[in-house]
Chain A
């Protein structure tokens, strides 16, 4: 069972990481909205979502990323992943998705490591968006949705599912000093 403090800490870490890493510079404006609604947004055409896992001994966090497949989002990701000026082809776009997801979750994993000491990060995998409808089969104890809009036209959506063991008490807090850390995330090595 995960404490309310620990759940709030995880939410804060994701929000902080998203805020730091979804902009390409100080000129970008980022708006993040939180929601605990587990109902997925209106169904779009079949598209790909990126799934990643952060695991520790008594819990895991499944993170599902959805990107708007439009020119603005593609251009923004190109900028973030230093592919500026290039038109992202399909494989480049998928690589940019993976890098972005790694950047966000890598930062969360490192920050979590400061509080709970041991945690690990998986590689990102692509799944069809229809898979997102069945997240409940993972029996998450908490589900949280973060919706980020950058410069009013670039859109990312994170669904954070916390799956904690019922028979283990998990409690930790995040050091407030950690919240103001401004270093950019590094790529996780696999």
Chain B
């Protein structure tokens, strides 16, 4: 069945052709040229229309295309499902692998810490023993303190003895002086005795000078001995304080290792 529009177009074309022939027949040239142009246009339109596919074919092509699209969609969904499943599997495998690696690393670290702890524990004991032994240095300083006190006491004794010696020498000087006076009174007879008395007095004066110098040296000795001992004692206390700090730090490190 031919569609009504096409019949109408066909009739129009026929009418146009007939009109054109009529005008050409009557010698109307410009009109004939225009009609020729219209005819050419109409022929072009007919050619275009003749290439158009009928509706059924278009519908069939559409249906085929739709079917192809549906098929492709299903294929895509299937592929997406497959990819999703593959991703999920890869994720699971990756998680398992990570867990396994982490577990291995953890075990390795635990092993290393254990070894380190064993190593440090082995060193900790002798270290603490050494620190404790060094703390006993205070006892040594105490001993030195007692000895130092003995030295100071002994120096006091020497000073007392020196004072006694000094007192004796003073008496000898006085005696020598008296002897010299008595010798002078005796006149010529006492001249020899006067020489002896002067000699004794000179010796006593020298002894007195020595005694004074000796006393000064004893005082210097007291100062040097005392301050030297105090330096040792104070340094000992400084070392003991350092050891206290060292012990506290070692204990802290050990406690932290135990807590790991």
Which residues of A are at the interface with B, using a C-beta cutoff of 8 A? 51-56, 60, 62, 113, 118-123, 125, 127-128, 130-131, 133-135, 137-138, 190
Across the interface, which residues of B come within 8 angstroms of A55, CB to CB?
A: 230-231, 234-235, 238
B113 contacts the other chain (CB 8 A): no
A64–B235 Cα distance when bound, in Å, is 18
B219 touching A130 by the CB < 8 A rule?
yes
The answer to whether A131 and B222 have CB atoms under 8 Å apart is: yes
Q: Smallest Cβ distance from A143 to chain B, in angstroms? A: 14
Report the nearest A residue to B237, measured CB to CB.
Answer: A120
Interface size range on B against A: 20 to 34
- Return the contact of B226 from the options A56, A127, A190 (Cβ within 8 A): A127
Q: Which of B140-178 contact A (CB under 8 A)?
A: 145, 148, 152
- In the assembled complex, 6 residue pairs joining A and B whose CB atoms fall closer than 8 Å, in A order, are A51-B227, A53-B230, A121-B234, A130-B219, A138-B224, A138-B227
Contact of B219 among A53, A125, A133 (CB under 8 A): A133
CB nearest to B217 among chain A residues: A134
B237 contacts A122, CB within 8 Å? Answer: yes
B224 touches A118 (CB 8 A): no
Q: A122-B237, A131-B222, A134-B219 are in contact. List 9 more A-B contacts (CB 8 A).
A: A118-B242, A120-B235, A120-B236, A120-B238, A125-B229, A125-B230, A131-B219, A133-B219, A190-B237
Q: When the two chains form the complex, which single residue of B222, B227, B238, B240 contacts A56, counting CB atoms closer than 8 Å? A: B238
Contacting pair A60 B231 (CB below 8 A): yes
Measured between alpha carbons, how far is A121 from B230 in the docked complex, in Å? 8
Closest 10 CB pairs of A and B: A120-B238, A53-B230, A120-B237, A55-B234, A122-B230, A122-B234, A120-B234, A131-B223, A122-B233, A134-B220
Interface hub of B152, B222, B226, B227 (most chain A Cβ within 10 A):
B227
Query: Which chain B residues border A135 with CB–CB below 8 Å?
Result: 223
A160 to B144 CA separation, bound complex (whole angstroms): 25
Chain A residues within 8 Å of B216, by CB: 130, 134
Of A55, A56, A137, chain B has the most CB atoms within 10 Å of the CB of A55
Q: In the complex, A190 Cα to B141 Cα: how many Å? A: 10
Judge whether A125 and B234 touch: CB under 8 Å.
no
In the bound complex, CA of A123 to CA of B152 (Å): 14
Which of A52, A56, A119 is in CB contact (< 8 Å) with B230? A52
CB neighbours (8 Å) of B233 from chain A are: 53, 120, 122-123
Contacts of B238 in A (CB 8 A): 55-56, 118-120
Q: Which residue of B lies closest to A130 (CB)?
A: B219
Q: Is the pair B145, A123 in contact by a Cβ cutoff of 8 Å? A: yes
Give B209-256 interface residues, CB cut-off 8 Å to A: 216, 219-220, 222-224, 226-227, 229-231, 233-242
Determine if B234 and A54 form an interchain contact, defined as CB atoms under 8 angstroms apart. Answer: yes
Q: How far is the CB of A90 from chain B (nearest CB, A)?
A: 16
- Shortest CB–CB separation between residue B222 and chain A, in angstroms? 5
B219 touches A128 (CB 8 A): yes
- Please name all residues of chain A whose beta carbon is closer than 8 Å to the beta carbon of B145 when the two chains form the complex: 123
CA distance A13 to B104 in the complex (A): 59
